[in-house]
Amino acid sequence: MTYKCLIIDDEPLAINVIKNYLAQVKDLSVPATFSNGIDALDYLRETKVDLLFLDINLPILNGIGLLKSLDKKPLVIITTAHEDYAVQSYELEVLDYLVKPISFPRFLRAINKARNKLQEQNRNPPIPEKEFIFIKIDSKKLKKIYLDDILLIESLKDYIKIVTAPKNYIVHQTLSSFTNKVSDSNFIRIHRSYTVAINKIDIIEGNSVEIAGYRYTIGRSYLNEVKERILNRLSDIN
């Protein structure tokens, strides 16, 4: 597997040194280099990179500012002529900190550390957090609810009751607006009073569904769409 590396440094000579060092190492490519933080930030927001070689003193946006601006950071190796930023860099979880001039043996140790980390990530990819929403349960408090915990949502005129396995929540919101908010392949409106989670349906019989031991009627105007969505789920499984 080839890992993509990005070099950001305002000194062309420093970029060439790192590129030449990387040419001696297998499985690493350099699709782009940048001399300023602004252009590099735009690139990183659009392109997945495995390993970033980052100078601190960059025009307009320095290396520290660039790291703080990234929502998702690749592995980062700082390459700088200054030792002063080491503590601040490690607080931003950089992998290594190389002070110029960088010797090849020291560079190689950093590369081996990066390769081990990347291989570990590939063996154990992070488990994505389940989808969730926040609901307002009083004037000052927001509650996180995982979508996978929701069994159904019941309309109570200007309010809704969100039914989950642990407990129920009453929220000042209409069923239509909430259904649109969580609209995905797992939620479906079955009645003017109910939106249900398809994967929580235990039994389908005639014009009703059963969820957690309770039966809910499918409204006449919703019946065709509900049956079509359920049949599509069956075809996906088969």
Nearest to 11 by CA among 49, 52, 54: 54
Q: What is the pLDDT of residues 123-173, one digit of tens each?
A: 877 677 788 888 888 777 888 898 999 999 999 988 999 999 889 999 999
* Mean per-residue pLDDT, 114-118: 93
Q: What is the pLDDT of residue 8?
A: 97
Joined together, the tokens standing for residue 224 give 């065709």
pLDDT at residue 75 greater than cutoff 60: yes
* Mean per-residue pLDDT, 208-231: 89
Question: Left, alpha or beta for 132 (phi > 0: left; psi -120 to 50: alpha)?
Answer: beta
| Bridge partners, residue 168, by sequence | 163
pLDDT at residue 237 greater than cutoff 50: no
pLDDT at residue 103 greater than cutoff 90: yes
* Residue carrying the six token digits 């950001």: 8
pLDDT at residue 54 greater than cutoff 90: yes
* Whole-number average pLDDT of the chain: 90
| Bridge partners, residue 142, by sequence | 136
Q: What is the pLDDT of residue 209?
A: 92
Give the percent of the chain with pLDDT over 70. Answer: 96
Place 53 in a pLDDT band, splitting at 50, 70 and 90: very high
Contacts of 184 (CB under 8 A, 6+ apart): 147
Kindly tell me the burial class for residue 212, based on how many C-beta atoms sit within 10 Å of its own C-beta (0-12, 13-18, 19 or more): exposed
Q: What is the pLDDT of residues 183-194, one digit of tens each?
A: 676 899 999 999
| Bridge partners, residue 205, by sequence | 208
Q: What is the pLDDT of residue 141?
A: 83
Place 233 in a pLDDT band, splitting at 50, 70 and 90: low
Given a contact cutoff of 8 angstroms between Cβ atoms, the answer to whether 135 and 142 are in contact is yes
Q: What is the pLDDT of residue 236?
A: 52
* Mean per-residue pLDDT, 61-79: 92
Q: What is the pLDDT of residue 106?
A: 97
Q: In order of start, what are the domains of the chain with their CATH numbers? A: 3-123 (3.40.50.2300), 132-237 (2.40.50.1020)
Q: What is the pLDDT of residues 2-33, one digit of tens each?
A: 999 999 999 999 999 999 999 999 899 999 99
pLDDT at residue 122 greater than cutoff 90: no
Given a contact cutoff of 8 angstroms between Cβ atoms, the answer to whether 173 and 156 are in contact is no
Place 235 in a pLDDT band, splitting at 50, 70 and 90: very low
Q: What is the pLDDT of residue 89?
A: 84
